[in-house]
Structure 1
């Protein structure tokens, strides 16, 4: 009887713990299995020094090994945003296999720079190798092997006074809102307008919904521009504006 009472009283907390445990298990599996096999396939099958060949080999792998981290449809959405925003400083939260990092880097201007954050050491190491295989140099990017919560407070020296032009949040949806608030509190979002892309990998996860609910109350700072291929595009502006966050 007491067990039943306790379960009823704390069922919401237990459910949340179960969701977090499942997300952690999926992240671990992705980092130790998917990343390793993806790296081996791309490393051996691509033309080294050719970013286009690296991406084509990634896509070829995804044809027979469906992945949450790889896909030309979602990649094309990212390409379109980068062409429009023309970012100088880009932050990626969730490096995974390095696929999005390569897509971003090949479209940045000569002075552009990417900082990508991955807390799984194996994924960070193998992704960094594939980014180098694609022909990019360490002067163009930096891989931080730590959590987003650890990385964000230390970003200011790398970002400089202009702030971030583009942020790609492709990690745990439960971290979307706290990380977005931390970026804002640290003054790292470009005041003139920073584009934030939220990639919702787990459609049943409440992290994205919680983030959008919060942003509806911040219409003076945030507006939703578009949502497609599980990618939500949000624009941050320092000045008030009238466009509402929807969706």
Structure 2
């Protein structure tokens, strides 16, 4: 047994730890514990629960209202790792600035970022969105169509990014990606960037925007982007969606094609 004196000695340290990392403890509680409990109680995956909420409360064909409904769910009901409004503004501003005609999205999840991109694209532009999880892809498909975007604007491709990227030209007709948005597993960021280069899918001036490069972080991806000499780069400092106390960032790369 630990003596009361020793326990009291450690108390200030524990309190300091709880205060300093309170946002991370809250994230763990909402993103892990609450989710697992609701999964067990309802028998319905979280993404499907979120869609049912959106279906009930959002206005069909109104992308902005749909995004706001997702935000309300994530703040007041259950945490959902969407792009969130703060990062959405960065992505939206970049699309308005670059006006890409072809966008490759790696990691569709529930379709939140897909809608952000789709509503900002110029007329005639198209998104190729890759999601490896079939269950999440099924939810994303319903969300994207509910927002009012059809196959001509958004083509949803189901499968691992490392399998899909080599097939993009011949099977899906994507000859070049003017903008690439990476929001899938961060361990795949560097691999997929190099695959895009190897398959000549990045034209000169193409933009790559990678999320979560600070939390949980993608150091090897950033190191490569800075050292390889092929990119101009910058980092947009922001925070984790719905958790302003947790710093995060998005890396913006511009492909120069130089070696």
TM-score with structure 2 setting the length: 0.75
Q: Does the alignment pair 1:200 with 2:230?
A: no
Q: Measure, in 2, the Cα distance between the counterparts of 1:222 and 1:136.
A: 32
Distance 1:159 1:86, change over 3 A: farther
Cα distance in 1, alignment partners of residues 228 and 146 from structure 2: 42
Which of residues 214, 222, 240 in structure 1 aligns to 2:231? 222
Number of equivalences: 208
- Does 2:73 correspond to 1:61? yes
1:87 matched to 2:106? The reply is no
Q: What is the distance in 2 between the residues matched to 1:57 and 1:143? A: 22
SS for the counterpart of 1:225 is: strand
2:52 counterpart (15, 21, 40): 40
Q: Give the structure-1-normalised TM-score.
A: 0.78
Distance 2:60 2:53 in 1: 13
Cα distance, 1:97–1:233 mapped onto 2, change above 3 Å: same
Structure 1 unpaired stretches of 5+: 1-25, 241-247
Q: CA deviation at 1:66?
A: 3.0
Matches within 5 A, 1:9-24: none
Q: Supply the distance in 2 between the matched residues of 1:159 and 1:107 (Cα, whole angstroms).
A: 22
- Show the 5 A alignment for 1:167-206: 167-191=180-204, 193-200=205-212, 203-205=215-217
In structure 2, what is the Cα distance between the partners aligned to 1:124 and 1:84?
29
Residues 124-173 of structure 1 show CA distances to partners (whole Å, capped at 9, x for unaligned) of: 01111110010111111111110000110111144544x11110110111
**Match status 1:120 vs 2:139:** no
CA contact 2:54–2:69 (8 Å) conserved in 1: yes
Q: CA deviation at 1:215?
A: 2.0
Deviations 1:167-223 (A, max 9, x none): 0110111100000000000000122x1111111177244xx100111222212x112
Q: Give 1:239 deviation, angstroms.
A: 4.1
Q: CA RMSD in A?
A: 2.2
SS of match in other structure, 2:132 = coil
Q: Distance in 2 between matches of 1:236 and 1:202?
A: 21
Describe the SS at the equivalent of 1:156.
coil
Contact 1:159/1:188, CA 8 A, preserved across alignment: no
1:187 to 1:149, Cα distance in 2 relative to 1, 3 A: same
Residue 213 of structure 1 corresponds to: 223
Does 1:156 pair with 2:169?
yes
Secondary structure of the residue that 1:184 maps to in structure 2? helix
Equivalent residue in structure 1 for 2:61, among 41, 49, 59? 49
Shift of 1:67: 2.6
Match of 2:156 among 134, 139, 143: 143
Structure 2 partner of 1:232? 251
